[in-house]
Chain A
């Protein structure tokens, strides 16, 4: 349940002079985490979805070790992407529905900072569990220690990018019918490079080549997304609110 009181606290607690980016981000992060933790079962369900999807692929194809080792990185990445998409519509939707988002946009804090806080909370509740579970699930695909390490690290770099790109889609589709599927249609093509380099890092290590190149590209992408995505999402939110 979102409290409108939260937004007035936000507006009252900062004079324009102290309404900096970091306090705004911290405020949004803390608030969204608190709200997310109130519905812990929802988070658990999302995680279960990830686990189940990952387990479906071998059932649908074959338990052959070599096949699994080749498919594994791709499957784990696509599942992470789908799990992220599941929770994205909710990123701004409930705040938008009860008017809190408008209050947030009107507050003296810079909107990109607030948006960054929300995205960080989304990643902590959706992406980070995926990263932590990945080594376990990677065992289902007969991935060895080195591959699992690279997979985890790649997911650590890549899942925030998925949250950041997804936030742009969520902001653009605020309050629209067809919500979740439309969001997926918009976001999935943008995530293709993350998929390619994320899964490619593991495939490289499996092939005996180094994963550094892939991981560096992921890192660079993360930096660009951290700067650009909150700006684009803020623009989209203002468009939706007007």
Chain B
């Protein structure tokens, strides 16, 4: 089957709609399963009490925030290399959801940190890097909004995303170095030394739930972007019932 035909916005539009619906429902089911594991099955933690249950949101959100950035970078590279519109649209569609995940990671991390380590914010390596990642997302979104011409916006945001992607490991390494120098390893807001398998399972299920959610939302958003940007193109007038194809 020739998958490359889906690289045109026209062909991709209906496919995205179907996939978004399917993935959305998968996300809901996985979330229900994950939360059930997290709240009904997993036992209360010996050290942290029930406060640890925040990790079932915090860790998946943190992983997704980084993963989405990588996927954005992938689509950006593809759009620059192949001069492909749809790849750039996918990158554009992912940014807000990535920023959302980063925010959730930061917020839930703070609310986990307060009861567990006594402080909402602790400038540890991961949370600080997460904060900078949020700034990187905001930068890409702000740049997209500041440029009126779609093609220029595509390519400028692609360059910015790639420059950011190269910098993320450097930033993380430097923040981690800075953190160990100043605080020792007493505070690490993410690592739980040994995690019971059931907790790990709950986290994994929630991570997949977050993943399918992100894909579903990005696909719906890319459909909006396609409609917004391809107004003049002839094929869009053949969409008899937008949203229902």
Contact = CB atoms under 8 A, between A and B. Distances in A.
A82 to B, nearest CB: 16
Interface of A is mostly: helix
A53 interface: no
A43 B220 CA distance: 50
Contacts of A188: 135
Contacts of B155: 239, 242
Interface in B113-171: 132, 135-136, 138-139, 142-143, 146-147, 151-152, 155-156, 159-160, 163-164, 166-167, 170-171
B40 interface: no
Interface stretch (A58-66, A147-155, A176-184): A176-184
Interface string A200-213: 10011000000000
Query: Number of contact residues on B: which range applies?
Result: 20 to 34
A173 B159 contact: no
Contact of A242 (B146, B152, B181): B152
Nearest to B129: A192
A92 interface: no
Contacts of B167: 189-190, 193
A173 B170 contact: no
Interface in A160-192: 168, 172-173, 176-178, 182, 185-186, 188-190, 192
B6 interface: no
Q: Considering the complex of A and B, which 10 residue pairs feature the smallest CB-CB distances, nearest first?
A: A193-B174, A189-B135, A239-B155, A196-B174, A176-B146, A186-B139, A196-B178, A189-B132, A185-B139, A172-B156
Interface residues of A, number: 28
Given A168-B159, A172-B160, A232-B159, 9 more contacts: A173-B146, A182-B146, A186-B143, A190-B167, A192-B174, A193-B171, A193-B174, A204-B181, A239-B152
Contacts of B181: 200, 203-204
B66 interface: no
A171 to B, nearest CB: 9
Contacts of B136: 189
Contacts of A11: none
A235 B80 CA distance: 11
B159 A190 contact: no
A197 interface: yes
A12 B103 CA distance: 54
B118 to A, nearest CB: 23
Contact of A173 (B143, B166, B178): B143
Interface in B207-236: none
B78 interface: no
A236 interface: yes
Given A189-B135, A189-B139, A239 B159 contact: yes
B175 interface: yes
A240 interface: yes
Contacts of B164: 189-190
Nearest to B170: A193
B174 A197 contact: yes
Contacts of B159: 168, 172, 232, 235-236, 239
A186 B160 CA distance: 8
Contact of B175 (A178, A182, A192, A240): A192
A189 B166 CA distance: 12
A204 B171 CA distance: 19
B142 A185 contact: yes
A240 B174 contact: no
B107 interface: no
A200 B132 CA distance: 18
Contacts of B160: 172, 186
B177 interface: yes
B163 A168 contact: yes
A3 B92 CA distance: 39
